[in-house]
Structure 1
Amino acid sequence: MPPGPSAPCDPPIRTPQDRSAVLCGLAGWVPPRVVTNEELSRRLDTSDAWIRTRTGIGRRHVVEPGQATSDLAVEAGRRALRSAGTDAVDAVVVATTTPDRPCPATAPVVASRLGLTGAAAFDVSAVCTGFVYGLASAAGLIAAGVAERVLLIGADAYSAIVDPDDRANAIIFGDGAGAVVLRAGRPDEPGAVGHFDLGSDGTGEEMITVAAGGSRWPARTGEEVSREDRHFAMRGKEVFRHAVTRMAASARATLALADRKAEDVDHFVPHQANLRILRAVTEELGLPEDRCVSNVESVGNTGAASIPLALSDAAARGVVRPGDRVLLTAFGGGLTWGSCLLTWPALHRPDRPYDQGGELAP
C-alpha cells in the first residue's frame, strides 16, 4: 500500500548535524478475540454498568492460548513498515512488560520474523510508560547517527500476567500492539519527535508489580509461590493519585521545554489507563475534554501498546491531521513517567486496529 505524500522513509539524512527522528509510519493491531463486560459479569461479581462507571471500558481483546507478545508485535510491526513504505530498518525496539520469556529479549525474535535479521534489536521495560521511553531511545539512536530508521513497537499481553479471577484488574487490561517507524530527518519538519520529559521514582516499586518470577524472588519449581504473588497487582487508589499528578507534571514540563502552553495542544494522547484517569489529567492541564484522544472503551488498558494504539485509531478516524500539535504522556510501574511533543505529519491513514481481525503474520 503506497505511503502518503510525506510518509516515505527515503532518503535518509546522513549528516550528524541537525538530525531528528521523524515519524513516517504508524499501525496498530489487537487480537480478534473480544471479551465484553457481559462475559466478565458471568464469572465475576460485577456488571457492565459497574465496569463502565469505574473505568469507561466496554470490551477488551485478548490473545488465544499459544499466542504471545511477539505475535502481536510482529503483526503491528508488519503493518507499520507497510505504512512507511519500507521493508528495512537499522534497529527494532520493543517496549513490553510481558516478554515472551525472561531471557532472551523479545525484540530479536520480532526482528527475525519480520525479515530484519541483522538489525539491532532490544526490549525496553518501563511498564505503561514503555512506549514513551522507547520513543526517546529510538530518537536517540537516530540523533546519534547509529540508525537511519527505527521500528518501535509497544506490545503487551496482559492476559498472561493478570489473574482472570481478580475483579479489580481483569476488567481493566487487554492485549494489543502498536508500532511506529521513525527515520532520520530535520527537527523542523512535521513528524519530528521533539521535546521529552522522562522520570522515575523507585520508592514506589510496590504500587504496580508482579512479585514473583524475578531474581529477587525466583519462581522455581517446587517453591511455594502464592497465586497472588504470581500475578499482576496494583494499589488502585495510590496509582490513581500518582498517575494524575505525574502525567500532568510531565506534560507541563514538556510544554515548557518547547516554550508552549496547554492551549497550543491540538490533541492530548495520554496512556489509556482508564477513563477516570484520562479525564482527571485532561482537567488538571486545563484542556477541553474533546482534545483528549481515547479508545479505552474499545480496548481497555493495553500497557505499552496503549499510546500507539490510540494514535493509530485517531489517525484512522481522521481525528489527527497534518500540522496538528500532539502531546503524549504516560505513567507506569517503577514508578515511571514520560511525555513527548510532536507535530503530526502527513501519513497514510491506517486501518482501525480493532475493526479487522485475521491471521497473525508468520
Structure 2
Amino acid sequence: MNARCNLLSLSSHVPSQVLTNDDLAKMVDTSDEWITTRTGIKERRRLAATENASDLGYKAALKALDEAGMKAGELTHVIAATCTPDSLCPSVACIISGKLGAGAVMAFDVSAACSGFLYGLSLCRSILAQDPAARILFVCAEALTRRSDWTDRTTCVLFGDGAGACILTADDRPPLATLEDAICKSDGSLNQLIIVGGGTASQYKQGDPVGSDFFIHMQGREVYRHAVRQMSSICEEILERNGLSIRDVDLFVPHQANLRIIEAVGSRLEIDADKVFTNVEHYGNTSSASVPLALVEARAQGRLEPGMRVLMTAFGGGLTFGATLLRF
C-alpha cells in the first residue's frame, strides 16, 4: 500500500497520581526489589476515582489538536484503541468526540490490547488510502488499574494508566513523521493467555458481587515466551519487506510491558542497546498507550530527530502483535 499516512502531531497524558513499588508493598505481598528484578518497573500512574479512560484520552486529544493547529470541527474520524473502555457502549471514541465537539464524525473503538497503537496506525493508513481528504484523530487510552486485582502480586504490579493521541492526514502539510510500513497479525488460538474480563461472558445479575473474572488474568511465563518470539520475528519481517537491516534503524521503541522482554527482543534483533528506548520504569505497562507514551518521551529527550527511522513493535492479548516503521 503506497497511501501517504502522515502524523501531524503526537501527544500523551498520564494521571497525576504516582503509585510506587513501595506503595504496592503496603497493599500486597511484594517489595521494590521483587518487582524491579522481575519487571524493571519502579512506579506507574493511577487515575483518580473521578477519571475514566476517556478523560485521559480527551486530554491527550486536546494536546494533539493543538500541536497540529487544528480544531475538532475539522476532523472526519475519531478512533480510539483501548482494552479498558469506560463502558461496552458507547465507545470511548464517541465519548471523546462528543467532549471535543467534533460533530458528525465517524467514531469507533479498536480492541487489540497492547498492540492497539500499531493496529490503529495500520487502520488509519487504510482509511487515508480510501479517502485522502480524511483527517483522523487517533487516541489510545487505558485505565488498567481499574481492572487490576490488588491481591494478585503477579499482575497488579505490572500495569498503569495513560493515553496517547495523534492526528493523521494524507495532505501536503509538513508532517512530524510518516508511516512507512505496518504489519499487524494475531494468533487467536492463544486467546486465553491474557484476559481482561467483565464482558457478556460474565453473567452477573443485579446485586451480584464482582467475581475474579472481572480482573486481568495472565499466564506470565507463556506470555513472555510468545511475546519475545513474535515481536522479534515480526520486526525481522518488516525490515526484510522494506529491504532494510537492523542497522538502518535509528531508534527501536518496543511495547513497554516488561524490561526483561524488551532486553530479550533487543538481543534477538542484535540492535545496539543505545538505540533501544525504554520508559517502563516510570509507567509500567499502559497497554495501547505504551508506544505513543514512549515516542512522546523520546521526542522530549531529543532522541528523535528529522530523518530518523523508528522501528516499533508490540504484543498483547488476543494474542495480537505487530511492527511499524516511522520516518521522522
The aligned residue for residue 101 of structure 1 is: 87
Q: Cα RMSD between the aligned structures?
A: 1.8
Which structure carries more helix by proportion? 2
| Matching of residue 29 in structure 1 with residue 13 in structure 2 | yes
Match for residue 327 of structure 1 among 300, 311, 315: 311
The aligned residue for residue 173 of structure 1 is: 159
Residues 235-269 of structure 1 show CA distances to partners (whole Å, capped at 9, x for unaligned) of 00000000000111111111112111111100011
Q: Distance in 1 between matches of 2:2 and 2:41?
A: 43
The code of the aligned residue for 1:137 comes to: L
Match for residue 295 of structure 1 among 267, 274, 279: 279
Pair 1:146–1:122, CA change in 2 (3 A): farther
- Structure 1 residue 218, shift from structure 2 partner: 2.8
- Structure 1 residue 221, shift from structure 2 partner: 2.7
The code of the aligned residue for 2:205 comes to: R
| Matching of residue 153 in structure 1 with residue 134 in structure 2 | no
Q: What are the equivalent positions in structure 2 for 1:198-217 lying under 5 Å apart? A: 198-211=184-197, 213-217=198-202
- Structure 1 residue 191, shift from structure 2 partner: 2.1
The aligned residue for residue 105 of structure 2 is: 119
- Structure 1 residue 146, shift from structure 2 partner: 6.1
| Matching of residue 49 in structure 1 with residue 43 in structure 2 | no
The code of the aligned residue for 2:201 comes to: R
After the TM superposition, which of the residue ranges 80-89 and 213-222 deviates more from structure 2? 213-222
The aligned residue for residue 223 of structure 2 is: 239
Pair 1:229–1:189, CA change in 2 (3 A): closer
- Structure 1 residue 147, shift from structure 2 partner: 4.7
Instruction: Give the unaligned 5+ runs of structure 2.
Output: none
- Structure 1 residue 49, shift from structure 2 partner: 1.4
Match for residue 22 of structure 2 among 29, 33, 38: 38
TM-score norm. by structure 1 comes to: 0.86
- The percentage of counterpart residues that share the same residue type is 42
TM-score norm. by structure 2 comes to: 0.95
Q: Distance in 2 between matches of 1:231 and 1:215?
A: 14
Q: What are the equivalent positions in structure 2 for 1:1-362 lying under 5 Å apart? A: 19-87=3-71, 88-145=74-131, 147-185=133-171, 191-211=177-197, 213-221=198-206, 226=211, 228-344=212-328
After the TM superposition, which of the residue ranges 262-271 and 81-90 deviates more from structure 2? 81-90
Q: Distance in 2 between matches of 1:130 and 1:285?
A: 22
Q: Distance in 2 between matches of 1:281 and 1:294?
A: 13
2:155 aligns to what SS in structure 1? Answer: helix
Is this contact kept in 1: 2:27–2:150, CA < 8 A? no
Pair 1:85–1:170, CA change in 2 (3 A): same
Instruction: Give the unaligned 5+ runs of structure 1.
Output: 1-16, 345-362
Q: Distance in 1 between matches of 2:60 and 2:290?
A: 13
- Structure 1 residue 298, shift from structure 2 partner: 0.8
Alignment coverage as a number of residue pairs: 325
Is this contact kept in 2: 1:190–1:323, CA < 8 A? no
Residues 58-90 of structure 1 show CA distances to partners (whole Å, capped at 9, x for unaligned) of 110001112100000000011111111111321
The code of the aligned residue for 1:112 comes to: G
Q: Distance in 2 between matches of 1:30 and 1:84?
A: 20
Is this contact kept in 2: 1:19–1:185, CA < 8 A? no
